[in-house]
């Protein structure tokens, strides 16, 4: 397989030839770096393909979408040629919502379904948000709200006005997308679904994480770890062990 699936997904496992493809979608403002160690810590038969979204990383010059439907349509088109083999989806924070809607989009088009959907650091889409929208706040208040709620913006970026001038519009587009998202009822999935969360994550309390179970008729698991929105930084190995078990029979 090529080193990248078109310009949407970076192949983090270039030596992987057979097995299952794990398409990973990062958090707002994130990129493939979130998954940089995964290939070496997952079984050799799991190929890791990390999304590079418009407006981020190597696609910095592209306009970031402000509607979930628009971005999901593009993601669906990007992965369609590569779902001829077994695959799974993992989404973190904003990526969890996108992975969920991507699975729905594939189903609506009669395309193969993932063997498993893994979601982290985001509430079940049918549950109400815990916090008020911030996407319309002035830049300074907007960034302060993100840091207060989630953290995650490195100090080196916060202290660099030029970087923030580039980074802020991308974050605003991402938050516009997720805060204006409208959930609609649909048939439950038939494949397994696993949710991960942090004990003090403002984006998803335990009840909203466990509500992901309402989205599948298949097996459901919910794993909660000590930490906030970026609990995965401390508990990455535990998360990868769960993913390995979940994909062991694929």
Q: Which domains does the chain have, with CATH numbers?
A: 4-130+184-246 (3.40.50.1820)
Taking only the tens place, the pLDDT of each residue in 184-226 is 999 999 999 999 999 999 889 999 999 999 999 999 999 999 9
Can you tell me the mean pLDDT for 164-185?
Answer: 95
- Indicate the helix (H) or strand (E) that contains 74: helix 68-79
List residues with catalytic annotation: 93
Q: What is the mean pLDDT of the chain?
A: 93
For tokens 């077994």, the residue is 86
Say what the pTM is.
0.95
Provide CB contacts within 8 A for 123, sequence distance 6+: 129, 130, 203, 204, 205, 208, 209, 211
Question: CA-CA distance, 49 to 21, in Å (whole number)?
Answer: 7
Residue 1 confidence (pLDDT): 43
Taking only the tens place, the pLDDT of each residue in 64-105 is 999 999 999 999 999 999 999 999 999 999 999 999 999 999
Token pair recorded at residue 233: 């930084």
Task: Give the C-alpha distances (Å, rounded to integers) separating 225 from 66, 124, 235, 246.
Answer: 31, 17, 7, 18
Taking phi over 0 as left and psi of -120 to 50 as alpha, with beta for the rest, 102 belongs to: alpha
* Residue 2 scores a pLDDT above 50: no
């Amino acid at each position: 397989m090529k080193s990248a699936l078109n310009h949407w997904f970076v192949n983090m496992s270039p030596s992987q030839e057979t097995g299952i493809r794990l398409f990973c979608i990062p958090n707002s403002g994130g990129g493939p770096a979130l998954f940089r160690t995964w290939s070496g810590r997952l079984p050799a038969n799991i190929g890791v393909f990390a999304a590079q979204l418009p407006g981020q990383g190597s696609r910095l010059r592209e306009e970031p979408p402000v509607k979930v439907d628009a971005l999901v349509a593009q993601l669906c088109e990007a992965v369609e040629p590569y779902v001829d083999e077994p695959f799974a989806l993992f989404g973190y924070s904003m990526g969890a919502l996108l992975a969920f809607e991507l699975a729905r989009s594939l189903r609506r088009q009669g395309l193969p379904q993932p063997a498993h959907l893994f979601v982290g650091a985001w509430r079940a889409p049918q549950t109400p948000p815990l916090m008020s929208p911030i996407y319309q706040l002035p830049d300074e208040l907007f960034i302060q709200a993100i840091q207060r709620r989630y953290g995650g913006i490195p100090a080196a970026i916060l202290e660099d006005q030029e970087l923030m001038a580039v980074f802020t519009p991308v974050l605003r587009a991402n938050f516009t997308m997720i805060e204006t998202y409208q959930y609609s009822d649909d048939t439950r999935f038939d494949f397994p679904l696993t949710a991960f969360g942090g004990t003090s994550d403002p984006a998803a309390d335990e009840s909203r994480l466990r509500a992901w179970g309402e989205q599948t008729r298949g097996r459901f698991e919910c794993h909660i770890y000590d930490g906030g929105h970026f609990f995965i930084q401390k508990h990455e190995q535990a998360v990868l062990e769960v993913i390995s078990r979940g994909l062991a029979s694929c």
